Chain A
């Protein structure tokens, strides 16, 4: 029955295509078709998952090849898919959260006249994301990789009438291309070195390859992962991407697509296991992004951008875990799943708040919303408790495990991760306080109200998952479940007992909460954003996204522009000059050569006679010389 896995992809793909083709008549029910397609995929995912549970641990990887995609010479690529423990979890996350977000979008996009198209794009995204995680070949994975990029581009720029949205979509597209270079080169290198790009074959061959190959492969894949997962230095597009509709931010830019980089690293575990350098690079990238994202999250007044900073930061945690090797892989995936729950929850919550606040995203205009929107507040709170690591909530278990493993690897890495946990608690408390507590700062003509059922039900479901997601860790289930894919981990002995470390983490988080409460809960919040001059340089840097855009501008954009200008100049003066010069010279030659064509027979005859003489002399010269 695992041969049916292609249906997971085919259903939303067909639905998306149908919605795009059908036209206006389907405007009334298009969103229902889209949601049903996603739900059908989810149901099938659950059935397949149940079937997988019924198999023995070593019999849980099921490959299927639909057809031969490319077969030229020695280059052979099958359109192959693999359904195993890792992709099974992803299928559930993508289709499950995806379906909830489809349902939510029915309400959120109700008044948008292009709602059918929106659902078509969402369906296409689901199909592409499933292709990405089910792929059995890196080239098929790349297909999905580009597919989600395309869907992301279309959805960020969905409100293309806004110049900022169009620009953000373009930016996401361009920055992702940089990462894609890494992906493409990695696939070419695989083919050049191993003669195949099938994931299983590459993973099997990686341990036997030289250091240089595995390191290059690892770094190239990391570059791809950085682009897709908004990791430093390719992070700048994610905050702009918040221009898209909020369900898009929840689905694509929080729960699923941006975690593709983490998936890629975990899926390519054999390559990273074989290269110490690549793994260290992953850790550094993860750690830096973790702290940078948290910093940005502290300074943003735009609720979605604050959450986006948080997403960066949390993916940094996952990256960090993925860089820790077999010990970290399961926890990277675990955190990825719990984060998918609570971050989608909070994004949808933010969307619900915006819905009630006339699409205002500035938290300084919020305040005291807990009474106006009780359901949104309650579910958001569950997400909040999960992300700060309140004991018992899903985030508590997953983050705790990552920090614990980080300490097992290196003291400084562990301390960095620990600091991040504290900052996370601070900015989330800030966000919570500014939005739901304190005095109402909204304008007079704004009348906050609770969102309709179709939006709050998904919130409740995701809230419940935020609370309960930790059950995956019961009896180390997820670790054992993923072990056949990610490899067995040696247990690290920590300097202090795990329970002590957990206490310390909780204490640090509590400190963050306390600081946040003291700063934003006890004191009134200004209704307008303070000017740059009046805040500390830390806040200023955070507001400007740590000057990432300025850095890009100075290091990449401006030199490129200069280079372009030079090339245009060179093209005009040098190449065109040469070509037109050549053409002119030819014209002159032509004029010169037509001169003897005088029209006089006598001169023609003379030319011929001279020709005869030359031919005779040539022949004689050639032979007799």
Chain B
């Protein structure tokens, strides 16, 4: 009996083929394709050159995807104002390929490329990467020593990072909640693994991975439950359908609010907003520093795009319900991040709290919900956040790249006291770090200033002038500890021998140079990028 006769016999309706706009989602396909090829490479490529092959493959795929992203972006319908959406819903409603989403792809791919360069750095550990040789070995065991002696390396880190990257890209453009959840898991799972792979201080690293996994799973559950409630409320996973239901208030108010709250928790966890920030310091500190850089820049950007999309598109009709709560969270997050970072003695933890504070500043722009008015060039909430994410990610990757270089015999010396006097021994390096600190503090002539100005301006336009006042006050507070690091580096005598600064390969050098130049350029001539963000337009529905 042939298949055709079986179909005819049971008289099933024909299943229509899914209509996929392959050209629009090509960047995603390139990255995920490269990740799968990476798995094959892992299996079949000779070990001696595997690490290099994986690195080239990952970087090449990202560059190709970036080029394609630019092409996709220019191909979106041109709009002159920021009011209208450009782009379309694609892949049977699963993805929305629009201005902000594709802009997000762009910055994610740039962050990914810079991070891959840091991943590939092998000069600092004497020809080995910053990742453990054999993750299965117990720390301190003879097996570990054996792995070191045999110079084993995990080159899976590149495919893992590519999977995480494609998850982030998907997260930024998911148009229905199920896709979004899948994206969330695709981005999270590889990161959990990557966090546990540090070559040095492996216990700390494994602890971080486990914590991240447990808490991440915990938050995913809330997110999933929120999705279920949203489906229960609206009968659909698609954001536009949810929007319709919310606008018409079809069902119980409580159901909707519970759904909003639970989904918010899942997303706020990923961006590291208080009180869902507790994982951030531990994970940032324990993870291998290149992974921390990748997470700090990439996860935050992807999660913020998802947050914007869910709340502006799906729950936009209920904004008067969720804004007060988000305002409170923004204030608490800014304050907590800024204040607690004062008493940190570890550079990576300090940067973690700084990232929490930045999540707070980004939330200030977010609650502005300012979509612009016709004929005005004022920065909208979406474009201000896009610009902020670009600047913050760039500075973060640069700062963590520098952290990888300040070392002693035990690897990176992240204790702040060891950084004293760095400005005397390595003025260029300390100067670069100072640039990132000034950018984080929002000092003029750095990108951070324009970024802060943008989100505050959007919040002001959205009617939250008093929140802007609080934000500015907390920025002043936050400036304290950034400046403290600069003082420590330049005006304090080194303790003992002081830190040694390792000479990196060109890979890390390129990352730092790009980050410094980018941070300063975005501060002095923000026009082009700000314009690009402004013309990204609104989200498609």
Contacts and interface: CB of A to CB of B under 8 A. Distances in A.
A611 B265 contact: yes
Interface stretch (B111-119, B272-280, B290-298): B272-280
A615 B279 CA distance: 18
A616 B262 contact: yes
Interface string A610-622: 1110111011101
A196 B341 CA distance: 54
A586 B342 contact: yes
A611 B275 contact: yes
Interface in B221-262: 222, 253-254, 257-258, 260-262
Q: Which one of A586, A601, A605 has the greatest number of beta carbons of chain B within 10 Å?
A: A601
A583 B340 CA distance: 13
A52 to B, nearest CB: 54
B324 interface: yes
B219 interface: yes
A599 to B, nearest CB: 7
B210 A601 contact: yes
A582 to B, nearest CB: 9
Nearest to B215: A604
Contacts of B211: 601, 604
A389 to B, nearest CB: 66
A591 B274 CA distance: 17
Contacts of A620: 254, 257
Contacts of B253: 623-624
A619 B322 contact: yes
B392 interface: no
A610 B275 contact: yes
24 contacts: A589-B339, A591-B343, A597-B281, A601-B214, A601-B215, A604-B215, A607-B275, A608-B275, A608-B276, A611-B265, A611-B274, A611-B275, A611-B276, A612-B261, A612-B265, A615-B261, A615-B264, A618-B261, A618-B325, A618-B328, A619-B260, A619-B322, A619-B325, A624-B253
Nearest to B210: A601
A597 B278 CA distance: 7
B336 interface: yes
A608 B214 CA distance: 12
B269 interface: yes
B484 to A, nearest CB: 10
Contact of B325 (A590, A593, A622): A622
A363 B339 CA distance: 74
A590 B343 contact: yes
Contacts of A612: 222, 261-262, 265
Interface of A: 583, 586-587, 589-591, 593-594, 596-597, 599, 601, 604-605, 607-608, 610-612, 614-616, 618-620, 622-624
A601 to B, nearest CB: 5
B21 interface: no
Contacts of B339: 586, 589-590, 593
A611 B277 CA distance: 10
A608 B321 contact: no
A607 B222 CA distance: 14
A597 B350 CA distance: 13
B98 interface: no
Given A586-B480, A614-B275, A623-B253, 20 more contacts: A586-B339, A586-B342, A589-B339, A594-B343, A594-B344, A599-B282, A601-B210, A601-B211, A608-B215, A608-B219, A608-B278, A610-B275, A615-B265, A616-B257, A618-B261, A619-B257, A619-B325, A620-B254, A623-B257, A623-B321
Interface of A is mostly: helix
B258 A618 contact: no
A607 B278 contact: yes
B257 A608 contact: no
B218 interface: yes
B477 interface: yes
Interface in B297-348: 321-322, 324-325, 328-329, 336, 339-344
Interface residues of B, number: 39
Contacts of A591: 343
A594 B261 contact: no
Contacts of B260: 619
Q: Which 9 pairs show the lowest CB-CB distances between chains A and B?
A: A611-B275, A590-B343, A604-B278, A616-B261, A590-B342, A618-B325, A619-B257, A623-B321, A615-B261
Contacts of B477: 586
A610 B222 CA distance: 13
A616 B261 CA distance: 5
Contacts of A614: 275
Contacts of B258: 616, 619
B340 A594 contact: yes
A591 B345 CA distance: 12
Q: Which one of A583, A608, A619 has the greatest number of beta carbons of chain B within 10 Å?
A: A619
Contacts of B341: 590
B221 to A, nearest CB: 10
Contacts of A586: 339, 342, 477, 480
A359 B84 CA distance: 87
A278 to B, nearest CB: 46
B63 to A, nearest CB: 38
A7 B340 CA distance: 66
Contacts of B265: 608, 611-612, 615
A593 B222 contact: no
A616 B254 CA distance: 10
Nearest to B213: A601
A608 B212 CA distance: 13
Q: Which one of A587, A620, A624 has the greatest number of beta carbons of chain B within 10 Å?
A: A620
A604 to B, nearest CB: 4
Contact of A583 (B321, B328, B480): B480
A596 B215 CA distance: 16
A228 to B, nearest CB: 40
Contacts of B321: 619, 622-623
Nearest to A588: B343
Given A618-B328, A620-B254, A587 B322 contact: no
Contacts of B340: 590, 593-594, 597
A619 B315 CA distance: 13
B276 to A, nearest CB: 5
A599 B344 CA distance: 14
B215 A605 contact: yes
A599 B329 CA distance: 22
A542 B260 CA distance: 90
A575 to B, nearest CB: 16
Nearest to B341: A590
Q: Which one of B269, B279, B343 has the greatest number of beta carbons of chain A within 10 Å?
A: B343
Interface string B342-382: 11100000000000000000000000000000000000000
B34 to A, nearest CB: 34
B317 to A, nearest CB: 13
B374 to A, nearest CB: 29
Contact of A587 (B275, B325, B343): B343
Interface in B420-460: none
A620 B324 CA distance: 11
Nearest to A600: B211
Contacts of A583: 480
Contacts of A607: 275, 278
A604 B279 contact: yes
B364 to A, nearest CB: 18
Contacts of A608: 215, 218-219, 265, 269, 275-276, 278
A593 B477 CA distance: 15
A462 to B, nearest CB: 59
Contacts of A622: 321, 324-325
A591 B278 CA distance: 16
A615 B325 contact: yes
Nearest to B265: A612
